[in-house]
Amino acid sequence: MEACSYLTKLSQREIKPTALRLLILKAMMQFEQAFSLLDLETYLDTVDKSTLSRTITLFLKHHLIHSIDDGSGSLKYAVCGNECNCDIDDLHVHFYCTSCQRTLCLKGIHIPAVTLPRHFSLESINYVMKGLCDHCSKG
């Protein structure tokens, strides 16, 4: 992806581009599956942890990335597509492989609609399936 594409991605989410934000976004987009803060720290070992944490918080607030609680004890993150606003209709299923411990976005599988009881108000959904990924199940 070219630098202008990263700039476009930030501007679409109304995030002021800085050299560090561009570097962090580029790193995030290198991951083929969801990544943790530790993964990002390892990949960008010259960027301090507090800068990474602040940038993740900013990116989450502007819906540039989404977070996934896969039950592993460490939040994972993935970059949202350009059309995603992190609305309920944009949410998708995540898959946690119990063998290789990767978390994958299954963007083609939407979270099933659930009718809540009267006076309940939905704030977030976390839908994670667990099992063996295609690579590990070949075993």
What is the tens place of the pLDDT at every residue in 78-88? 998 777 766 55
- Is the Cα dihedral 39, 40, 42, 43 positive or negative? positive
How many residues belong to the chain? 139
Interstrand relation of 76-79 and 103-110 (parallel, antiparallel or unpaired): unpaired
User: Model's pTM, two decimal places?
Assistant: 0.79
2 vs 116, residue with greater confidence: 116
pLDDT of residue 83: 74
Structural domains in the chain, CATH included, are: 3-137 (1.10.10.10)
- How far apart, in Å, are the Cα atoms of 32 and each of 29, 35, 94, 115, 134? 8, 9, 14, 33, 15
Under 8 Å CB-to-CB from 17, ≥6 apart: which residues? 6, 7, 10, 11
pLDDT of residue 24: 97
